[in-house]
Amino acid sequence: MSLIVVTGAGGGIGAAVCARLLEDGYSVLATDLAPEPALAKAPSLATAYAEGRLSYLPVDVTSEQSVAALEEYLRQLGRPLQGLVNCAGIVHTAPLLETSYADWKRVNAVNADGVFLVTREVAWLMLEQADTDPTNSRGIVTVSSNAATTPRTEFGAYGASKAAALQVSRSFGLQLAAHGIRVNTVCPGTTRTPMVTDPWDGQDLSAQPIAGNPASYRLGIPLGRIADPQDIAEPIAFLTSPAARHITLQNLTVDGGATF
């Protein structure tokens, strides 16, 4: 059974991606910061975890040492590595004039440096397993954000970090294409995950991003709803699958038409 690594698996999108890939018959190695795999308690994942189709490894994507330990773990497994989904990410909301350098470095360390470190190590292992793949079946997908391409007043550091994640993924894709490894990005818009809903303090404030805020250069969401994690997991599952074997270096924005 082919293996796919998912970083940030404890988040809303990460957990949904794990569940969707398991449905497609993949074995999934979920990674996150937590020492224990809390995501295994989710009804959609508990059975797979008990059966061994879903495994867990704590990984800090901002630490080169921790990412190297992930690579060594994968090497020892000796399983065919089919793909990687970079879901690990954090948000920071403040205008740039009110953003500290510490906050700037923290959000870039997770959202940009983490994508570089993990993709680099996983790609090297893929090349070691098979230098070329004529079927182009192996895929890497990075979850960026529509804030990477549309500036917003409150998302200066976050948008810059996600733009870096998008660009480093494209650069990896250009280098790895000759080896039959595809690299694409998915840019979600507002999605109903704890990262978005926790600041709402128990209220349903989804009407605000749907309506938009011209003062913050936010266009609203023409489709009239914020995304569920499953809405993001579906295109990710497609891009990691052999069905997308002729797609690489592409960015798919999944935000209900909020940016275009």
Which active-site residues does the annotation give? 158
* Backbone torsions φ then ψ of 53, nearest 5 degrees: -75, -25
Place of tokens 């630490």: 63
114 touches 62 (CB < 8 A): yes
Cα 136 to the chain's mean position, in Å? 21
> Whole-angstrom Cα distance, residue 239 to residue 75?
24
Q: 3-state DSSP call for residue 221?
A: coil
Place of tokens 């109903």: 192
Enter the DSSP assignment of 228: P
Helices (H) and strands (E) in the chain, counts: 9, 7
> Whole-angstrom Cα distance, residue 148 to residue 161?
8
State the amino acid at position 145 in one-letter form: S
What does the buried/exposed string (b/e) look like for 31-43 if buried means 16 or more CB atoms within 10 Å of the residue's CB? bbeeeebebbeee
> Whole-angstrom Cα distance, residue 89 to residue 166?
13
